[in-house]
Structures are given as C-alpha cells and as structure tokens.
Amino acid sequence: MKFLGNRQAVLPIAIAATLAVGMPQASAQGLFDMLFGGGIRHSPQGEFPPPPKSRKIQPGASAGGGVRISSPTYNTYRADKLVRVDFKSLLPAPQPATAQDAAYVPSVTGSAFRDALAGLSDYELFAEPDIAKALIAYYSANPDFIWVTGAAPNSRAQDAVRVLGEAASYGLTPADYSVDVPAATTSAAPEERTKELARFEMALSARVLRYAHDAQSGRVDPNRITGYYDFPAKPLDLEGVLKTLAHTQEVRTYLESRHPQNPEYQALRVELESLEASEENEIVVDPKLLLKPGESSPELPKLLTLIARNLDDEMGGEYGEVLARLGKSELYDPELVPVIKAVQKRAGMKGDGVIGARTVASLAGTSKADKIGKVKVALEELRWLPSDLGSPRVFINQPAFTASYIDNGEEKLKTRAVIGKVTNQTAFFYNQVKQVDYHPYWGVPQSIIVNEMLPRLRSDPGYLDRAGYEVTDSQGRQIPSSAVDWGAYGSKIPFSVRQQPSEANALGELKILFPNKHAIYMHDTPQKSFFERDMRALSHGCIRLQDPRGMAAAVLGTSVDYVAEKLKHGHSTENVTRVIPVYVAYFTAWPNMSGKVEYFDDVYDRDSRLMLALDATEAVRAPSS
C-alpha cells in the first residue's frame, strides 16, 4: 500500500508552510481539515445499513453545540484523618497462637509487657486508621516489646530513632516521625517507668509504620490529586513490618530498604544534600522576564554579567568586546542579539534572540529554594513508581519534552517529544509496551469527536466521508457519516470514528501502544515543525516522537532498516515480545544518565499542587502525639 498520490505528497509541505507563516482565526477549520485529513477524499466501500431515524436531541445538547467532554480536574487534597488508637482491646487475654505465629516465642519480658498495658488506658496516640488497626492486631497476637529490653530502650530502638531522625535526607519531614525517647536511666517509680516504656513502644511502632509506608508509597495518594495521575496501590503488610523488626537486629537496613532502590532516587538524594549545603544564587534574575530587541529592563545587566562571567575562549573572542561595552546596558541593543542567540543555541534552544523564561533559566539557573522544592517533589513522585524501574525501559519525561529508551544503564535512544497542551494534559502513569502499528488507523477519541468535530458535523454531516474517516455504530457496522443525524447528540456519541492510513493521518506512519485507560500512546506526526520549538506542549495528550522509527526499532529489538522495510508494505501490526515498562512521567528535576540533576519548567503547574497536598498531609499529622 502506498500513500504517495499527488495530493497526499504535497500535504505535509502545505502544513509546514501554513504553520510557518501563521494563519488567521477564520481559517482554523481549514487547518483542522489539513491535519486530520479534510483535504483527502475517499469513496465509501462496502454496503451500508439504512440511515438511522432522526432522534430527539439529548438533554443539554443543542443545534448550536455547546456540549463538551471535560478534561480531568485538580482536586483539593484531603488527607486521611488520624484516629486515636484504642488500646482497650489489648487488655483481654491473648488468643491462642495461629499457624502463622507458630514460630513466635515470647521473651522473658512478655509478662512485663502484659503488666505494662494498664499504662495505655488513658494514652492518646493518634495514627492513620490502617496503622492503628495494625498496631492492635500485631500486639494482640504478639504481646511483647520490640523496642524495649529490661527497663530501657534497646539497640533496635536506637537504630530506628536514628533512621527516623534522618528523614530529611530523603525529602521527608522529620517531625512526622518524631518520638519522645525515655532516658536510659531514671529515678521514676517502677510503675511510672513501665508506663513510660509502654507508651514509647507504641509510639515508636506507629511512627516506624508511618515511615515505612511513606518510604515505599509516598506521603500522599496521587490519584486523589487529579485524574491525570493514575498509579496502582503499593500494598504494605504493616503487621509484617513489625514482625520483621521484632526478629532482626538490622533495623536500619530494613527501613532504608523500603525506599526506592534505583540510581535516580539516590542521585536526587545527593542533589538535595548538596543544595542544602550550598549558598543561594548570588545573582537572581526575574524568572518571568520577557525581553525583545529594542526593549529595556533592569534585569538585562544581570544576565549579561552571568554571560560574561562564563565566557570561554571561543565566545570571548567573538563577543567579549560587545559585552565589555554594553554589559551594563538596560537597553537590549541589536548588537547584543547575536550574543543571546549564541547562548540559547548552546543551551539547546532555538536561538531566536528573544529573552524569555527558558533563556533566563539556562543563564541564571533556578533559585536554590526552587531547586530544593523540585527535588523534594521528584523524590515523592519516585515513591509512586516501582522501586526497580526495569531494564530495558522507555522513559518519557514530560517537562523535558523527551522520550528515552534505556537498557543496562545506557540511554540507547533519546528523542524530542511533543506532549499534551495545558488544556489536553498528558497523564502521569506507567504501563508496558505491547505493540507497534505500521501505517496505523487513528481511532478518534470521543473528546475530539464531541469538542472539535461535532460542531461542524451538525451543519456538514458528510464531511467525515470526504475526509477519509470511517464511522461505525455500536454493532461495528460501517455507516456513512452523512447518514447520521449528528444534531441529535451531545456529549455521548454512539458511534466510533477512525481515520484511515494515509500521509495525512494524525498518527503519521506508526504508533507504539501500551494499553491504558487514557488512550495515550507514542506516535509519529505530520507536524514535524513542532519539534523545532522549545516549548512542546502542543498535542491532544498523546506523545509525538521526533524519531518514531528509532523508538519502534528499540522496543522491537531490531533495526531502523527493518522498520523501514515493514513500512513499505502498508498497514500491519507487530507485538513486542519482551517486557518493557514505559513511564509517562512528570519530573521537573531529574538526573541524566551521568547522575547530574537537570531542572525543567513546571508545564502543567503540578508541583505546586503536589506541595499543597503535602502541606495538607502535614497539617493532619501535626497535632498527633
């Protein structure tokens, strides 16, 4: 199958030309037609059923449109409220040991523990509901101290308290895990000492369980923040944690093992430690600066100072004299434009000479406080992912606008990517690569049918037939678009629409699927010019790749030549036979393969929303004792 008819062959050129020169608002529909196949006519094939009878318009729909399918929203985060641990249930005699606890042997302090329970009757210890439940369940079945030996905290307790006190090194808040440790010696009466130790036992167990949970899964449930987050639960056997700690002296090793065990997490920890020990940036430039040639700003001399400070021999020889002469100018003189362009190109930007947020960030960097915030957010987000990220894997970092194929610790492929617009955001989730489609059909999402196609279909019901789309009903029967009374429908369309393979297909020549409820995948695109932009949040939500053939070859474990040969033979699909996880991730701080942490703009303003969720969690935990 070939898609090289005259009209198709010139279409990508026409698109590029149109985008390059811009277009007036009135011709937006014409661009839509070009991007989604409006300029290509196909004859319907096969027998169609009779046109459906005219139906009443759905509630909320109107002939003029107005009904839309909304994107996910961001929610006000509500953390689980703490509950008071009910120690009364520990007072009855312990139940006979079950097979599960057959290996448990009470220590000589067992009777002392039972005697100490009386001191808990008026103790107010607050914990998360599942932790409160686990405490009672564990100590009912195992009536003995973990953290106390004789009349003092033991070495296990000392190790646990030290680990909890180092929580800040993981971007956690030490106050969330603080416990009052009894003095090693005391003049208190034996009864008071027993009460003190019993309360310490329960408090430390509660905070150790909180720490283990936070280290493994994070402090917040990301799925409560927004529908754009989609992560499976990471179950933790809380009773099992206490059983393990009761029978090991390697408390530190065990608790630290609850954290993600990958190089990226470790690199972010090192970065956090380095940042906190560093000094604040000496020169701070307004991160929202926008300056064009001929305009003035008091921020410009700061930028020029930073450029002059970091000149190498090549840049110094070419631009040193201009910077020496105009380095204190607040006017963006035309003579300075080549300097800014050169700096932008060195930073991997387009080099347009306009000083904006990305130029400022590349020169002045991000403030120390902002970097620390980004690293702490990244550490929290990494706790939502599997501890072992897997190899090989595909890693898409949305704020960086890149997609990488990583195998055995080596980045075998890195390509520019386009992600969803702010109004059509790409979700944050992970899955597994399953299939490569050559010359794919494009199944149009319901949101695009309703929000973008339906307004035109109400006045021009046959345009999908002319534009190379297929319409099928709920029974899978193909029907002509012109036979549908589109005006009868609002936000629920009982038809499927797909675009046939062609040069104009919105997915280009191939797509790489990893089935998910967000209908997101990687694919080619006819809009190649988008990859030349620095800010590439431009799609309807899927991931467009600058090098789709390279990524397809990587996940299939083959060569680009093989992919090219497959493309010569029209539409087909090929399964990916290896286990390759794919992360559609969102990190504004992320280490490159050498371990250096790089920083990116918060395209969707998600970091601030996560910080609000973390604040809400800390507020709930703050009054706990």
pLDDT (tens digit per residue) in 11-46: 333 333 333 333 333 333 343 343 333 333 333 333
CB of 463 closer than 8 Å to CB of 552: no
Contacts of 280 (CB under 8 A, 6+ apart): 367, 368, 369
In a domain, 310, yes or no: yes
Query: pLDDT tens for residues 468-495?
Result: 888 998 888 998 989 888 888 888 888 8
- Residue 93 is predicted with a pLDDT of 54
CB of 329 closer than 8 Å to CB of 351: no
Overall average pLDDT of the 57-77 stretch: 65
Q: State the average pLDDT for the chain.
A: 85
Instruction: Report helix, strand or coil for 340.
Output: helix
> Which of 323, 338, 364 finishes a domain?
364
State percent of the chain over pLDDT 70: 85
In a domain, 320, yes or no: yes
* Domain span holding position 332: 300-364
Residue 66 predicted with pLDDT over 80:
no
Query: pLDDT tens for residues 46-61?
Result: 333 333 444 444 444 4
Three-state SS sequence of 112-173 = HHHHHHHHHCCCCCEECHHHHHHHHHHHHHCCCCCCEECCEECHHHHHHHHHHHCHHHHCCC
In a domain, 407, yes or no: no
Overall average pLDDT of the 327-346 stretch: 90
Q: Would you tell me how many other CB atoms lie within 10 Å of the CB of residue 424?
A: 18
Three-state SS sequence of 42-106 = CCCCCCCCCCCCCCCCCCCCCCCCCCCCCCCCECCCCCCCCEECCHHHHCCCCCCCCHHHCCCCC
Query: pLDDT tens for residues 75-116?
Result: 999 999 999 999 988 864 555 555 555 444 444 455 678 878
Q: C-alpha 333: how far from its chain's center?
A: 41
User: Does 240 lie in the same domain as 101?
Assistant: yes
The least confident of 203-217, 227-241, 463-477, 567-581 is 463-477
Q: Would you tell me how many other CB atoms lie within 10 Å of the CB of residue 324?
A: 11
User: Does 321 lie in the same domain as 215?
Assistant: no
CB of 115 closer than 8 Å to CB of 194: yes
CB of 364 closer than 8 Å to CB of 281: yes
Residue 387 CA to residue 588 CA, distance in Å, equals: 19
* Residue 149: φ, ψ to 5°: -130, 125
- Residue 474 is predicted with a pLDDT of 87
Q: Which two tokens stand for residue 596?
A: 């250096």
Residue 203 predicted with pLDDT over 90:
yes
Residue 413 CA to residue 411 CA, distance in Å, equals: 6
- Residue 371 is predicted with a pLDDT of 93
Overall average pLDDT of the 263-275 stretch: 97
User: Does 356 lie in the same domain as 310?
Assistant: yes
Q: What band does 313 get if pLDDT is binned at 50, 70 and 90?
A: confident
In a domain, 232, yes or no: yes
In a domain, 118, yes or no: yes
- Residue 71 is predicted with a pLDDT of 81
Q: Which two tokens stand for residue 8?
A: 């198709």
In a domain, 304, yes or no: yes
Count H helices and E strands in the chain, helices first.
Answer: 21, 22
User: Does 184 lie in the same domain as 122?
Assistant: yes
- Residue 115 is predicted with a pLDDT of 79
In a domain, 293, yes or no: no
Question: Which amino acid is located at 65 in the chain?
Answer: G
CB of 128 closer than 8 Å to CB of 80: yes
Residue 183 CA to residue 370 CA, distance in Å, equals: 40
Overall average pLDDT of the 248-271 stretch: 97
The residue that leads in pLDDT, 14 or 446, is 446
User: Does 347 lie in the same domain as 251?
Assistant: no
Angle at 237 between CA 245 and CA 428, to 5 degrees: 120
Residue 421 predicted with pLDDT over 50:
yes
Query: pLDDT tens for residues 361-420?
Result: 878 777 889 999 999 999 999 999 999 999 999 999 999 999 999 999 999 999 999 999
Alpha-carbon Rg for the chain in angstroms: 31
In a domain, 255, yes or no: yes
Q: Which two tokens stand for residue 423?
A: 């109004």
Residue for token pair 């090192």: 270
Residue 266: C-alpha distances to residues 281, 373, 404 (Å): 24, 17, 20
- Residue 409 is predicted with a pLDDT of 93
User: Does 346 lie in the same domain as 232?
Assistant: no
User: Does 161 lie in the same domain as 240?
Assistant: yes
User: Does 340 lie in the same domain as 253?
Assistant: no
Overall average pLDDT of the 484-513 stretch: 87
- DSSP letter string over 4-52? --HHHHHHHHHHHHHHHH---GGGHHHHHHHHHTTT------S--PPPP
> Which of 314, 342, 364 finishes a domain?
364
Instruction: Report helix, strand or coil for 574.
Output: strand
User: Does 228 lie in the same domain as 156?
Assistant: yes
> Which of 326, 346, 364 finishes a domain?
364
Number of domains in the chain: 2
Q: Would you tell me how many other CB atoms lie within 10 Å of the CB of residue 4?
A: 7
CB of 380 closer than 8 Å to CB of 219: yes
User: Does 108 lie in the same domain as 199?
Assistant: yes
User: Does 306 lie in the same domain as 258?
Assistant: no
- Residue 547 is predicted with a pLDDT of 98
Overall average pLDDT of the 184-201 stretch: 85
Q: Is the pTM of this model over 0.85?
A: no
CB of 368 closer than 8 Å to CB of 281: yes
Residue 79: C-alpha distances to residues 82, 255, 381, 623 (Å): 9, 24, 17, 14
Question: Strands 428-432 and 229-230: what pairing?
Answer: parallel
Residue 176 CA to residue 179 CA, distance in Å, equals: 9
Question: Which amino acid is located at 284 in the chain?
Answer: V
Q: Of all helices (H) and strands (E), which one includes residue 235?
A: none
Q: Would you tell me how many other CB atoms lie within 10 Å of the CB of residue 209?
A: 24
User: Does 237 lie in the same domain as 160?
Assistant: yes
Instruction: Report helix, strand or coil for 230.
Output: strand
